[in-house]
Amino acid sequence: MKILVINSGSSSIKYQFFNTEKSEPLCRGIVERIGSGKSSLRHYKYKKRPFVSTVDAVDHNQAIRHIFGMLTCPELGVIGSYKEISAIGHRVVHGAELFSQPTLIDTKVIKAIEKFNDLAPLHNPPALLGIRACRRFAKGIAQVAVFDTAFHQTIPSYAYIYGIPYEFYSRYKIRRYGFHGTSHKFVAEQAARIMKRPRAKLKLVTCHLGNGCSITAIKNGRSMDTSMGLTPLEGLLMGTRCGDIDPAVVLYIMEKKDLSIKSADNLLNKESGMLGLSGISNDMRDIQRKARAGNKRSKLTLDIFVYRIKKYIGAYTASMDGLDAIVLTGGIGENSRLIRKRINKGLKNFLTKFNAKLLVIPTNEELMISREAAEVIKKRKK
Ligand code: ADP
């Protein structure tokens, strides 16, 4: 099957085109700075030199038109007509409680996703722009929404309900949803393959460590708990997000500094985490470099980063009553030898006690989305 994967953000659209028999995309690319008057397109065809060009993309419709133009371009494209596409898989961040599976998109589904815009104001609206544009340009081609939150819909209520008056859950659906679900699911499947054991018999803790970081307890192939919450702000220390914090701290700071809700949101999401602590950068490579050179706050930032991961691994091992493997993935998880070494060293006795492995597995959310979209199409045909 030929599957186009679209990841549509507010100012860029990334795409990858898969033949489901292979794990390498036939081509991939990105349209950036949509609507800025300075849009550009980068297109990479397997084993060919990259193609880079400025393009006119005032909105998502035009960006999608350029992407289809590249896919069907005689020299750099991979298909003759969009009609060869079996399905388009869209990354959608928030599916709330309604979507626990990849879902075939129709007008009703679009309306439902729209309803969750206030839960993911930065992510769901641009995903919908991408979906609508594809419906316009690839009429009749099946489209599938793959949700970041879906994998975590198996988390039990005692792990997803917050300790605030119950009405906030029943009326406003305030609860833990969790994110990076596609990545956690992908690496968990890979881990089972590598360990040559059935998914249904494994207790895993998967750590997605990128700019955003989250950690998930996966028992018997199902997400049992995860560190991100109603929004991606909760949990581990991240590039610019604070992660776990006493909620009273936020109220205290708002009062002391006379901060608006918007400024407080900015402080916690954009100015905190590794950036706020180190005062240097949100990039792990910079923090490591500075720590090596003796910078104290960078060293402290690394200590906090690793400590939280260890703490969650301990908590999730207890909640699953066992552990077979810890999986590291994402830019930091896959590439930082230092973080890997420190987790390994810090948990040496723990890993031995549980006879658990520490695995590094590259994530591939686009490949996972293409597989999920293909599954939906196969089921529909049956
Ligand atoms: P995103 O969440 O935006 O997809 P990535 O998964 O690409 O982000 O991860 C970005 C993070 O990975 C950055 O903090 C970056 O410093 C870190 N990273 C990438 N390569 C390395 C490396 N070789 N060593 C340490 N950190 C790395």
Please provide the DSSP assignment of 284-319 as one string.
HHHHHHHHHTT-HHHHHHHHHHHHHHHHHHHHHHHH
Please work out whether the CB of residue 283 comes within 6 Å of at least one atom of ligand 1. yes
Per-residue model confidence as pLDDT tens digits over 40-91: 999 999 888 899 999 999 999 999 999 999 999 998 999 999 999 999 999 9
Please provide the DSSP assignment of 215-254 as one string.
EEEEETTEEEEES--SSTTSSS--SS---S--HHHHHHHH
Contact status, residue 243 vs residue 236, Cβ threshold 8 Å: yes
pLDDT at 122: 86
Q: Whose CA is nearest to atom 24 of ligand 1?
A: 336
pTM over 0.75: yes
The pair of structure tokens assigned to 50 is 């990259």
3-state secondary structure of 147: strand
pLDDT at 336: 98
Q: For the chain, which ranges sit under pLDDT 50?
A: none
pLDDT at 47: 84
H/E element holding 19? strand 13-19
Contact status, residue 184 vs residue 223, Cβ threshold 8 Å: yes
Distance in Å from the first CA to the final CA of the chain: 15
Contact status, residue 18 vs residue 25, Cβ threshold 8 Å: yes
Pocket test for ligand 1, best of 211, 305, 365 (most atoms within 8 A of CB): 211
Superfamily of domain 2-147: ATPase, nucleotide binding domain (3.30.420.40)
pLDDT at 197: 96
- Centre of ligand 1 to C-alpha 69, Å, is 31
d(CA 190, CA 83): 32
d(CA 86, CA 19): 10
Alpha-carbon distances of 246 from 7, 242, 251, rounded to whole Å: 34, 11, 10
- Residue 56, judged by CB atoms within 10 A of its CB (0-12, 13-18, 19+), counts as exposed
Neighbours of 96 (CB within 10 A): 19
pLDDT at 142: 97
pLDDT at 48: 86
Residue tagged active-site, from 148, 244, 286, 303: 148
Per-residue model confidence as pLDDT tens digits over 155-198: 999 999 999 999 999 999 999 999 999 999 999 999 999 999 99
Q: Which ligand 1 atom sits closest to the C-alpha of 211?
A: 2
d(CA 323, CA 347): 12
Q: Which ligand 1 atom sits closest to the C-alpha of 287?
A: 16
**Portions of the chain given CATH number 3.30.420.40:** 2-147, 196-365
CATH number, span 196-365: 3.30.420.40
Strand bridging mode 203-209 / 213-219? antiparallel
Strand bridging mode 325-329 / 203-209? parallel
Please work out whether the CB of residue 211 comes within 6 Å of at least one atom of ligand 1. yes
Catalytic annotation present for 148: yes
Contact status, residue 6 vs residue 89, Cβ threshold 8 Å: yes
